[in-house]
A and B are shown apart, each in its own frame.
Chain A
Amino acid sequence: MSGTAPRSARLVLRLAGLAVACVLAWLVGYPLLVTLAESLGLPRAFTGEHFAEFARRPDEWQALWRSLWISAVSVALAALVGVPLAFLVERSDFPGRRTLGALLALPVALPPLIGVIAFLFLYGESGVVARLLRNAGVDARWQLGGPAAILLVHAYSMYVFFYVFVRTALQRLDASLYEAAASLGASGARTWWRVTLPLLRPALAGASLLVFMTALASFSAPYIFGGSFRVMTTQIVASKLNGDIAMAMVETVMLGLVALSGLALLRRVDPGESATAGGRGVAPARARSKRWWLRALLGAATCAAAALLLLPHATLVLLSLAPPNTWTVEALPPVLALDNYRTLLASPERLRPVLNSLWMATAASLGAVALGLVAARLSLRLRGLVGRILEWELVLPWAIPGTVFAVALATTWSVDQPAMLRFVLVGTPLILPLAYLVRSLPVTGRSALAALRQIDPALEEAAASLGAGPARTLRRVVVPLMRPALVAAAALTFITALGDFVTSIVLYTFETRPIAIEVLASLRMQETGVAAVYGVLLMVVSAGAFLVWGGRSSL
């Protein structure tokens, strides 16, 4: 005979788990299924005709192929930049090392569209660099566009994943491993191949996966720089804007399938268990060169690297300070003033997108943290089938490109069929926060799962033995212990939602247009100064949230 009180508590828990699993399925899985069904002609008649049409068109295959190779090359480029930088910062000592270490993570804080535009104004054909060269008498003519420009932006913004992952792994490597290798007579090269590299494998695999998926889902860079060079994400949006809804859905399904198989494939290659987790030793000492000039050189190179990293940000600030129609052929703006800021602040209509983005991002991050926390906790408490389903639902949106989700949400929530649990949300202020929330679930859910797994079960038992009920235990023990992870996840979610472009462009309405959409509109109206002000605003708020994230996640 087993205790009935725990059993009834267990039943409540199971029911709660089931309820949350259903809500998540409705939010995350249902739109994808609806899209799949409608791409197959359902509910009218099952047909593979749309897919056959897709297969017949060479431009579709071309877009798919381009998405794949751009992603693969992005991984290589990001690794090429990020891994050496991680070694430089973690394994050598030079003036400014700490500052550089922090600055190197900065590109992540730049919302994708803003980064792309900053690149355009910096390295574009009439950008600051080109103007400087021309003023110096160099005949500099180039066009920033096509795959090269896309890859440049990808490398700039995605090397951070390699940099952060490898740096963290290097910090965890135990110095005694190197000493052991040396004592066994291994040379430096041998140690690198047989010790360092295998131990870094989980970090490298994790970063590769992340970069590949991010590049596959990338929209801003191909949208601005691609022109006729279409990848899947831009192809989908183009089809949708052209009114070819059926083709847009087939493309969406195809990109979703590619993303899922990419995820599965990379997971198989490396199951991702961390070989470094067991070691809790001291990281090897940093090599400090005895030659002063080498240190000085490294210091100077550091300054140059930092400047290079900060140039896009600086360009935006410069642009935002150039009053309209004052900067024509000069290399740098002749007048610096706050006119653009005044214009923006004086007009409620121009402030609207800022307020829109702020409230939608706040609502989405709070919602995503709450839902992620509840689902993660239930998933771990229940284990079993429901627990696994919950965990799966939390992770799934991560593998799905933003464009795919946007099209899926637009398809599902534009129909009023209460019997099918479908309601009209497109065109209401709800759709964008909902889209941001769903896309943020993997971030909040995964970090909640990780944080919960780190809490010693004995702590909760101790709370129970001291008479604390489930609510009190959650409030006084579990949540305080998870706070760093939750705050970090909320900050990251907030940054992403605040600068979102990829889902917004599919789902926005004029009333709820977010900052990124307004930036694009301002550019179209030749108001580069105002566009830059929006960019600076996004950058500043994102950097603030990023500092919170960095501060918390390092705890």
Chain B
Amino acid sequence: MGAERRPETAPPLVCLEVEAVSKSFGSHRVLEQVTLRVARGEVFALLGPSGSGKTTLLRVLAGFENADSGRLLLDGEDLTRTAPAKRGFGLVFQSYALFPHLSVGDNVAFGLEAMRWERGRVRERVREMLSLVDLDGFERRRVSEISGGQQQRVALARALAPYPRLLLLDEPLSNLDPALRERTRAQLRATLRRVGITTVLVTHEQEEAFELGDRVAVLHGGVLEQVAPPRELYESPATRFVAGFVGRSNWLPGTVEQVLRDGARVRLLLAAPDAGDRPVVWSAHGDGLQEGQRVELMVRPEALKLGDPSGLDQALEGRVVSVRYGGATSQVTIETAGGERLEALARAPLPVGRRVAVSLDLDAPAPRAFVAPGQGMPRR
């Protein structure tokens, strides 16, 4: 399967189109020619480390920042020059930004009043929205009287009340403690599914992006690295950055021995070859590989199998140096004779010092080979 950096296949019923948007603050380039399309009803997650430009992109979408260049279209309508108040987007802020001087009900009604709805309709819609987020009867409460999770839901209800054309969520769960975050995330997911609104979500947490997003875009240094559904992102990362940022990974150097239809057989280059000088050759996916090329192999911990060092073919030998007990599985670190460190998962905790053979689990997704830096393809 080719995980080529595909020109994005236009999903059906494109709703939001971002075309070559760039943005600098002073001499600092924050967004570099970002292009993406979001389908109607899709939940689209922007994932990246802090400073990757994801919040700036969201603020450009909301209209609080002007792009230096590029266009923004919603259902074909150019909104690049439209003021925030006229875009008709719903926005949930990281801090929620609930109006502290207004009650819960008045917060939710704010956008409806700005649209000059008549009072009865406003009241009806407020009740409907509070019911949607499980806060029936909270109309008269003060914002300061309710919990953080409830505030988050009020912010969502307020954003959804005026029937926005697009919902923008800026790190919507980052202000909650971990236990509450998990529960609120599930509620948020259910609400978004029920409403069926096109949503762009910004987060730095992979788990949040994977659980909420139909597709996830990874941003790094203002550049879109990859846009894909969560599974594809994890199993077929398009760039070294995505591979390293999403999930845990092991990196091993190697050379391409033979190019196959959708990948290659890669001979590992180990610091201290195993006894008998048997070469270890693993098959991997990868783009644009050529024979004899130096590559780096990315292997997920769960793709490694640990066994007895009794002459297993195509295995590395090593010693367990540390074990982190994690309940269902434990995280095991193995050091090879040459000093390479590998991370693997084990059902049963292994004793430190035990000698093990590390091989590929053929049922797990295959490793990915990335052309080593300075070997033709530009490194991202």
Q: Which residue of B lies closest to A461 (CB)?
A: B64
B residues with a Cβ closer than 8 A to A are 62-64, 66-70, 80-91, 93-95, 97-101, 110-111, 113-115, 158-159, 162, 168
Q: Does B67 lie within 8 Å of A2, measured CB to CB?
A: yes
Establish whether residues A469 and B85, one from each chain, have CB atoms under 8 Å apart when the complex forms.
yes
Q: How far is the CA of A4 from the CA of B78 in the complex (A)?
A: 13
If the complex has contacts A466-B110, A467-B162, A469-B85, are A459 and B99 also in contact, measured as CB distance less than 8 A? yes
Complex: A463 Cα to B84 Cα, angstroms: 9
Name which of A101-109, A438-446, A476-484 contacts chain B: A476-484
Closest to A459 in B: B97
Residue of A nearest to B81 (CB): A3
* Cα–Cα, bound, A465→B156 (Å): 13
Docked pose: A6 CA to B81 CA in angstroms: 7
* Measured CA separation A1–B20 after assembly (Å): 11
Query: In the assembled complex, how far is the CB of residue B212 from the closest CB belonging to chain A, in whole angstroms?
Result: 20
| Complex contact B83–A6 (CB within 8 A) | yes
A-B contacts, 24 listed (Cβ < 8 Å): A1-B80, A3-B66, A3-B80, A3-B81, A3-B82, A6-B63, A9-B83, A456-B97, A461-B64, A461-B84, A461-B93, A461-B97, A462-B91, A462-B97, A463-B114, A464-B83, A464-B85, A465-B89, A465-B159, A466-B85, A467-B86, A467-B162, A469-B114, A477-B99
Judge whether B91 and A465 touch: CB under 8 Å.
yes
**A-B contacts besides A3-B82, A467-B86, 9 pairs, CB < 8 Å:** A3-B81, A459-B97, A461-B97, A462-B91, A462-B158, A463-B110, A463-B114, A468-B85, A477-B99
The 4 closest A-B pairs by CB, nearest first: A466-B111, A458-B97, A465-B91, A3-B81
Contact of A465 among B81, B90, B98 (CB under 8 A): B90
Give the complex CA separation of A469 and B111 in angstroms. 11
Q: Is A269 an interface residue (CB 8 A)?
A: no
Q: Which residues of A contact B97 (CB under 8 A)?
A: 456, 458-459, 461-462
Q: Which residues of B contact A381 (CB under 8 A)?
A: none
* A466 vs chain B, min Cβ distance (A): 3
Instruction: Find out whether the CB atom of A467 lies under 8 angstroms from the CB atom of B93.
Output: no
Q: Does A472 contact B (CB under 8 A)?
A: yes
Q: Does A184 contact B (CB under 8 A)?
A: no
Which of chain B's residues have a CB closer than 8 A to the CB of A4? 81
Query: What residues on A are CB-neighbors of B110 within 8 Å?
Result: 463, 466, 468, 476
Q: Residues of B contacting A477 with CB < 8 Å?
A: 99
Interface flag for A525 (CB, 8 Å): no
Kindly state the separation between the CA atoms of A466 and B158 in the bound complex, as whole angstroms: 8
Query: Which residue of the partner chain A has the closest CB to B23?
Result: A2
Shortest B29–chain A CB gap in Å is: 16
A444-498 interface with B by 8 A CB criterion? 456, 458-459, 461-469, 472, 476-477, 480-481
- Least CB distance from B81 to A in Å reads 4
- Give a binary string over A5-17; 1 marks a CB under 8 Å from any B CB, 0 the rest: 1110100000000
| Whole-angstrom CA separation of A235 from B63 in the bound complex | 59
Query: Cβ of A5: which chain B residues have Cβ within 8 Å of it?
Result: 81-83
Interface size on A, residues (CB 8 A): 25
Question: Given the complex, which residues of B lie within 8 Å of A472, measured CB to CB?
Answer: 114
Residue of A nearest to B90 (CB): A465
Distance between Cα atoms of A4 and B69 in the complex (Å): 12
Check if B100 sits within 8 Å of A481, measured CB to CB: yes
On whether the beta carbons of A2 and B66 are closer than 8 Å, the reply is yes
Known: A1-B80, A461-B62, A461-B64. A481 touches B101 (CB 8 A): yes
Taking CB atoms, residues of chain B closer than 8 Å to A464 are 63-64, 83-85
In the bound complex, how far is the Cα of B81 from the Cα of A1, in angstroms?
A: 9
Contacts of A481 in B (CB 8 A): 99-101
Contact A458 B95 (CB under 8 A): yes
Chain A contact residues: over half helix, strand or loop, or mixed? helix
Q: How far is the CB of A459 from chain B (nearest CB, A)?
A: 5
Taking the closest CB of chain B, its distance from the CB of A464, in whole angstroms, is 4
Minimum distance in angstroms from A451 CB to a CB of chain B:
12
Would A1 and B69 count as touching, CB distance under 8 A? yes
**Pick from B83, B93, B101, B162: contact of A458, CB under 8 Å:** B93
Residues from chain B with a CB closer than 8 A to the CB of A458 are 93-95, 97
Among A3, A5, A463, chain B packs the most CB atoms within 10 A around the CB of A3
| Chain A proximity of B80: nearest CB distance (Å) | 6
A468 to B97: give the CA distance in the assembly, Å.
Answer: 15
Chain B residues with CB below 8 A from A465, complex form = 62, 84-85, 87, 89-91, 159, 168
Tell me the bound Cα distance from A459 to B93 in angstroms.
Answer: 9
Q: A466-B111, A467-B115 are in contact. Are A461 and B82 (CB under 8 A)?
A: no
Residues of chain A with a CB closer than 8 A to B63's CB:
3, 6, 464
* Complex CA–CA separation, A543 to B68 (angstroms): 56
Kindly state the separation between the CA atoms of A443 and B159 in the bound complex, as whole angstroms.
38
Could you tell me the distance in whole angstroms from the C-beta of A474 to the nearest C-beta in chain B?
13
Q: Which B residues touch A461, using CB under 8 A? A: 62, 64, 84, 91, 93, 97
Please report the C-alpha to C-alpha distance between residue A397 and residue B95 in the assembled complex, in whole angstroms: 38
- Cα–Cα, bound, A481→B99 (Å): 9
Nearest opposing residue in chain A for B86, CB measure: A467
Whole-angstrom distance between the Cβ of B230 and the nearest chain A Cβ: 28
Measured in the bound complex, the distance between the Cα atoms of B97 and A449 in whole Å is 20
- In the complex, chain B residues whose CB is within 8 Å of the CB of A2: 66-68
- B66 surroundings in chain A (CB, below 8 A): 2-3, 6-7
- Residues in B neighbouring A1, C-beta threshold 8 A: 67-70, 80
* Inter-chain contacts of B89 with A (CB < 8 A): 465
Chain A contacts of B90 at CB under 8 A?
465-466
Chain A residues within an 8 Å CB radius of B99: 459, 462-463, 477, 481
- Hey, which chain B residues are within 8 Å of A469, CB to CB? 85, 114
Q: How far is the CB of A504 from chain B (nearest CB, A)?
A: 38
A12 shortest CB reach to chain B, Å: 12
Q: How far is the CA of A460 from the CA of B50 in the complex (A)?
A: 24
Instruction: Please name the residue on chain A nearest to B108 by beta carbon.
Output: A466
Please measure, in the bound complex, the distance between the C-alpha atom of A131 and the C-alpha atom of B110, giving whole angstroms.
Answer: 67
Set of chain A residues within 8 Å of B86, measured between Cβ atoms: 467
State how many angstroms separate the Cβ of A4 from the closest Cβ of chain B: 5
Contact yes or no, A466 B162, CB < 8 A: yes
What chain B residues lie within 8 Å of A456 (beta carbons)? Answer: 95, 97
Residues of A within 8 A of B111 (CB): 466-468
Least Cβ–Cβ distance between B190 and chain A, in angstroms: 23
A472 CA to B110 CA, complexed, in Å: 10
Return chain B residues, CB-CB under 8 Å to A459.
Answer: 97, 99
B85 near A480: Cβ-Cβ < 8 Å: no
B166, chain A: closest CB distance, angstroms: 11
Which B residues are CB-close (under 8 A) to A463? 99, 110, 114
Closest-CB distance, A6 to chain B (whole angstroms): 6
CA distance A1 to B114 in the complex (A): 30
In the bound assembly, the distance between CA atoms of A459 and B84 in angstroms comes to 13
- Bound Cα distance A122, B301 (Å): 89
User: Given the complex, which residues of A lie within 8 Å of B70, measured CB to CB?
Assistant: 1
> Which residues from B are CB-within-8-Å of A3?
63, 66-67, 80-83
A462 to B63, CA, bound (A): 12
CB distance from A384 to the nearest CB of B (A): 14
For the complex, what is the distance from the CA of A477 to the CA of B107, rounded to whole Å? 11
Bound complex: CA A5 to CA B72 (Å)? 14
C-alpha gap A464/B91 in the complex (Å): 10
Give chain B nearest CB distance to A390 CB in angstroms. 23
CB distance from A243 to the nearest CB of B (A): 56
- Quote the shortest CB–CB distance from A345 to chain B (angstroms): 42
Known: A458-B95, A467-B162. A480 touches B101 (CB 8 A): yes
Interface contact B88-A467, CB-CB below 8 Å: yes
Specify which of B68, B80, B84, B89 lies most central, judged by the most chain A CB atoms within 10 Å of its CB: B84
Chain B minimum-CB-distance residue to A473: B85
Question: Which of A1, A4, A466 is the most central at the interface, judged by chain B CB atoms within 10 Å of its CB?
Answer: A466
CB neighbours of B62 from chain A (8 A):
461, 465
A232 to B60, CA, bound (A): 58
Bound state CA distance, A4 and B81, in angstroms? 6
Q: How far is the CA of A463 from the CA of B162 in the complex (A)?
A: 12
How far is A459 from B95 in the complex, measured between Cα atoms in Å?
9
Do A462 and B85 have beta carbons less than 8 Å apart? no
A456 to B95, CA, bound (A): 9
